[in-house]
Amino acid sequence: MAKIFCIANQKGGVGKTTTTVNLAAGLAKVGQRVLMVDLDPQGNATMGSGVDKRKLAHTVYDVLLESATIAEARVQSDKLKHCGCSYDILGANRELAGAEVELVEVERRERRLKEAIAAVDAEYDFVLIDCPPSLSMLTLNGLCCAHGVIVPMQCEYFALEGLTDLVNTIKQVKANLNDDLQIIGLLRVMFDPRITLQQQVGEQLKAHFGDKVFDTVIPRNVRLAEAPSYGLPGVAFDPASKGAQSFISFAKEMVARIDKK
């Protein structure tokens, strides 16, 4: 059975998409079978995986509205195949923004993605879901099917404040819709050890949340930021870079955590 994780944080620009595509590529590189689901109408995870969001015949939108199955809608990227870290992609584009409104009228609206993933579950070791920067019906669909949530966060002064809303949402979803759900871990991203405040906040997080904080820390690294313009995750674009290496370590840490359970 696949382990299903949402990469979520209601703040924008905190590194969700970067984490999703690089973890997907890192897991693929260490031999895991991965499906990456783009749940953000911006389609950045789709483009960042080397798939042109404007040219997709089917997207996650069709899956949510049940006009296509995941088997019909998923695609692969030639670029990723060349780099030896291929994963399947259930893409998204602007059309997905409409799903928010259209889903209001339908039955089982928050369980659509869960039911669709159940049909392909056996084909994967990991399903990673890149969530939009909101606690919307789209994010709710992601949280409903996940075993856990990975929360990328920058070690800044206000980082913890934003976390409260997410933690409360996760509690509510757990109580009402998905008893499995838990925060798997907080991932410290865009980390700059030269900045004392970041070091302090990083250590405070560890002290406060213990093993809910991943050991791996993702540094601020320009190669990770450059990679999307080449339609590749950093792990595929420049495997030797510090950013890529840290995501490979993170993929290994994830696999080890799953094996322990």
The interface mask with Mg ion, positions 6-35, x = CB under 5 A, is ----------xx------------------
CB of 71 to ligand ADP, least distance (A): 27
Candidates 3, 74, 114, 220: give the one binding ligand ADP (CB under 6 A): 220
Instruction: Give φ, ψ of 64 to 5 degrees.
Output: -65, -35
Strands 148-153 and 3-7, by their bridges, are: parallel
CB of 14 to Mg ion, least distance (A): 9
Burial class (CB in 10 A: 0-12, 13-18, 19+), 54: exposed
Tokens of 34: 């991965």
The count of chain residues that interact with ligand ADP, using the rule CB under 6 A, is 18
Give 26 or 41: the residue with its C-beta nearer to Mg ion.
41
- Give counts: helices (H), strands (E), the chain: 13, 7
Tokens of 89: 């992609």
d(C-alpha 137, C-alpha 101), whole Å: 9
CB of 16 to ligand ADP, least distance (A): 3
The interface mask with ligand ADP, positions 29-48, x = CB under 6 A, is ---------------x----
CB of 81 to Mg ion, least distance (A): 24
d(C-alpha 136, C-alpha 152), whole Å: 18
Contact residues for ligand ADP (CB under 6 A)?
Answer: 12-18, 44, 133, 189-190, 218, 220-221, 224-225, 228, 243
